[in-house]
Structure formats: structure tokens, C-alpha cells
Amino acid sequence: MSLLVVGLSHRSAPVSVLERASLPTDARIKLLQDTLAAEPATEATVLATCNRIELYADVDKFHAGVAELSTLLAQHSGVGLEELTPYLYVHYEDRAVHHLFSVACGLDSMVVGEGQILGQIKDALALGQELHTAGRLINDLFQQALRVGKRAHSETGIDRAGQSLVTFGLEQLAAGEPVETWARDRKALVIGAGSMSSLAATTLARLGVRELVVANRTMERAERLAAVLSEGGVSARAVRMSDVPAELALADVAVSCTGATGLVLTAESVAAALAQHMVPGAAVPEDLRAPEGSLVARLAAVAARDGRVAELPGRHDDLAGLPGVPPAAADADAPVSAVEQGAESAATFGAADVAPGIEPAVADAAECPVGPDDSLAQHGAWVDNGSRAPREADRTVIAHGTGPVRLGLLDLAMPRDIDAAVHRLAGVRLVDIESLAEASADAPMAADVDQVRSIVSDEVAAFGAAQRAAHITPTVVALRTMAADVVAGEMARLEGRLTGLDEKQRAEITQTVRRVVDKLLHAPTVRVKQLAGEPGGAGYADALRTLFDLDPETVASVSRADLNDADVKNRGRV
């Protein structure tokens, strides 16, 4: 076994590099074909997810294999080799096995313990089998990885160490509120109908959303997913991708995970949806702007002029003497907070004067009161607060201190589906792969992780022993084949010299000779298989070939036959 893996993941590379290096299906196919065409590799498959791109191959030369696989990854990902190389990692033989088994158990995932990686490993093996690039080693390795991952999830509580990426993302959107409470009675838009989008839709349905809308490039797939969700008792329907802008304007939360190479939702499209964002069936809110010249209007003007609502230091002669303003407000040595002023004004003028939706009375309405040195987030807040209708207060949470969240966006695609600039829009909470990576880095590790690591170590040792034993099998088979040929030759020579033997006598002599040969070979072949399972055991196969002068071509032919049998046996088992 000379297993080599070259790859990059969220642990080694920034999201921006992973985005650019993502491999669509056609690129994976071409990568595998070119890998087998390269001299160092005899079999290969690729594991490509939103968080990792890894090329597994059986190579006969380590250094040449690393160079060739790295070059091929750069070539097919579109990221230059010089730029990609600092983010690549390399694992060889037992370390490569340990890496894949850890990945299968969720130990190397962005969210520890997530189980979706098992399906992605299964897909990687299926692709290698379909293209006939996965031979005995890759088949054995990935089949075992699937078994190890299932064992970890069934025998330990690794699931408690973290949730699926979808659930974790929704929890981030909920911002500390119980996700079941947060999701209840919301309208959700799911963009895409692949495995991740389907999981997101199923999760949202389980959490109790009011309505689910599925948008997909292929309408049939969207309708199929919507039908499945409807059977579960959820109000679900399918729409075309062209309907996404209209549906986004009505949605409370949107999840996107497509295979698109460009943005599905731009900042402009999200801003346009927010401009129309209304609670379905709600009446158009009345104009709650404070009367011009009132305290609230003048407070709003001061806040707009400063670009923020904060402590208002110094003397405010323009506020002195107004009803509801405490004397301290006019005292230069006693700063008055806007919060205190708002509380006093609410008591004096009533709740309507301080309700959301108030437009500041600015001298020049065409000029943004936020200065050029203020943040873009402040500018977005000014634009939003001056033009948006209020949402239901009991269905909102606070996002980054910019106001109530009216639209939650979860981007699970790689490359990203949603423009990262939407986080500057007030009323929007965006959770994407990058923010999930930052959030999960601080997540506590469960005690079960240690138990899973122990399982991985045991399974790696068992896999290595089995592979080393399997490596010597062709030599043992070739030795026994040679012994059988010797017996057959000697019996033919004996029959020529003892022509008077009947069938019973000839059979008895043949059986006796075979028993002698089997007894002579039994102890050394059994022992050599045992020794082969230990580190360095491959040397015993070389010793057998040398001691018995076995034909290398005979051993190779046995290996090829064994490889073909394994390919037939494993095909269709994933």
C-alpha cells in the first residue's frame, strides 16, 4: 500500500481560496482521468465538499506523486500552483488512512461530529467506481471509512459534540434564541434542491416553519422536494428561479446551496427584496412620524446629524425649556443620554412619537447625514431606517446591533451563493461558511471526541494489518500454485514409470504427495501472513519470492485477478 492524499480544507486554507478551488462534477471527472493517466498513480478518487478538496491515490513514488497530484489539483481548480501550495497538506500511508477515518467520524469537520460527510465519502467512492479509477485499495479504504464513521456515531455521543452544518447555521441565525422557537411560524425560502438544500428544507420543516418555498433551476426537482415535504404535513410549494426575488420579499429566512459558479443573491437583490418586505396580510402602517418641530423630531435631527444615537454632551440650548426635557439636559456639565431623553419624551408625547419608522427631520433630505468617516454599516442603517416598514416585534431578534432582523440568510454553498456585502444591510443577518467556521472554532469539545479518536486509532491499525496481509496474499497464492505444478509434474512422471497403477492407487499416491506439500507449506504461509500484518511485514513477501524463486509475473497476475474480483465485489455496495 502506498496511499497518498493531497488536499486543502477549512483548517488549512481561507474560505476565499476554498471558494476559488471548488470542483464541479465535470472538473472532478477530468481530474480523476488525468490522475490515472499520470505515471505515479494506479488508482484514485476525489473527495470534494464545501469545506475540503482532497485527492486520494495509490502511488508507487512518494515525491513524484506529491508533485503530480499537487499540479493536477492546481490545474483543475483554476488556482495557480504557487498560490495553492502554501495551503496544501499531504498524508502518506497510515497517516492518510488516519486522516480519512477522522474525516468520516466528523473529527475534521467544521462542526465536530456532523454526519453529512459520510454521504459525501459515499459519493466520492461511487464516482471512483463509476469511472473505474477506484481499485482494490481505494475501495477497501473508503468502504472501511464508511464503517468507521457509522461505528463512531452508533457507539459514542459524538453527535452531541456538534450539530449538522444546517442546524448549526440555523442556530447562528437564531442568535441565542431556541432554534425551535425562532423558526416557528416563519416563512422559509430554500434555493436549490440538492442534498444540502434538501436537508435544510427537511430541518426547517421539522422545526415548524409556517411555509416552505423551494426554488431550483430544474423545476421537476423542486416539485419533487416540495411534494416530499408536503407529505410530511408542511405547507410547501415549488417555484422557478425567476420567482426568487418575489419570494424573497415575503420570506423570513432563506437558505441557499446551489452549484452555481456566480452569486445567486446579490446585495442589490436583497436590498430590493427588503424594500418590499412586508408581513403577509398586514395592513399598511400609518405614518407615525413626529410632528415637525416636536422634541422627538428634533432629537432625531441631532442623532442624524451625528450619525449615531449616543450620549449628547454639552449644553443643548435648542432643547432647553421644552416640555419633558429635564433641566440637566441644558446643563453643560451634565450630559444627557438619548435613551433617557427618549424615555422622558415617550412619557410626555406617547408611544406613537417614538415608534419605529420615524424619519429624521433633516435640513437637506437628499443628503445622507452620515459623514464620510462613518462606517458603511451606519450608512446602511440610515438608508434602511428611513425607508422600511416595521415588522412584527415579537418575531425579531437583534443582529449586530443594527436593529431588528427582518430577513435571515444562510449560505451553505461553496463558492458562496449570497453576496457577503449583504451583512451591511440593516435588518439582515447573514450566516455563511466563513462565519460558521469562526463560530465553531470556539465551540466546546465533547468528552466523546476522545472515545472516537481511540476508535479511529484502533481501526487504522486494523486496516493497516489487513492491507499488509492482503499484500502478501498474491505471493502465497503464487507459491502454492508453483507447488501444485510440481506435484502435477511429478505425478505425470510417475505414471510413465508405473504403468500398472489402477485409478484408486494413482489417486491415493496423488493425495499423499499433496498432503506432504501442504504440510510443508502450511506453517510458513500461515506464519508469514501473521508477520505481514506487523509494520515492515511486506519484507516477508520479498523473502518468499526470493527463497522459492517465484516468477514476478505470476505474482503480478494473481494481484490483477484479485483486483478485478474486488472491483466486481465492491461495485454497487455504496
Report, as residue numbers or ranges, the catalytic residues: 50
**Residue 235, SS3?**
coil
* Helix/strand/coil percentages in the chain, nearest 5: 55, 10, 35
β pairing state of 311-312 and 336-337: antiparallel
Residue 425: all three cell numbers together: 444591510
User: DSSP labels for 1-56?
Assistant: --EEEEEEETTTS-HHHHHHH---HHHHHHHHHHHHHSTTEEEEEEEE-SSEEEEE
Q: For cell 441631532, name the residue.
A: 302
- Report d(CA 123, CA 129) in Å as an integer: 10
Residue 162, Cβ neighbours under 10 Å: how many?
Answer: 22
CB 427 within 8 A of CB 407: yes
* C-alpha atoms less than 13 angstroms from C-alpha of 516 in its C-beta half-sphere: 8
Residue 549: all three cell numbers together: 524463486
Dihedral in degrees, nearest 10, Cα atoms 262, 265, 271, 273: 150
Q: Put residue 91 in one of left, alpha, beta given phi > 0 → left and psi -120 to 50 → alpha.
A: beta
Question: CA of 357: how far to CAs of 295, 311, 364, 381, 461, in Å?
Answer: 16, 22, 19, 12, 65
- The single-letter DSSP state of residue 265 is B
Question: CA of 291: how far to CAs of 305, 326, 455, in Å?
Answer: 18, 21, 71
- Report d(CA 297, CA 362) in Å as an integer: 9
- Report d(CA 173, CA 182) in Å as an integer: 9
Residue 43: all three cell numbers together: 488508482
Residues 6+ apart with CB under 8 A from 238: 213, 214, 215, 216, 219, 222, 223, 225, 226
CB 161 within 8 A of CB 449: yes
Residue 548, Cβ neighbours under 10 Å: how many?
Answer: 14
- Report d(CA 483, CA 521) in Å as an integer: 9
Task: Please name which of 281, 284, 274, 283 lies closest in space to residue 210, comparing C-alpha atoms.
Answer: 281
- Report d(CA 348, CA 152) in Å as an integer: 64
Q: For cell 451553505, name the residue.
A: 412
Dihedral in degrees, nearest 10, Cα atoms 38, 41, 44, 48: -60
What's the angle, vertex CA 528, arms to CA 522 and CA 529, rounded to 5?
Answer: 95
- The single-letter DSSP state of residue 284 is P
- Report d(CA 66, CA 3) in Å as an integer: 11
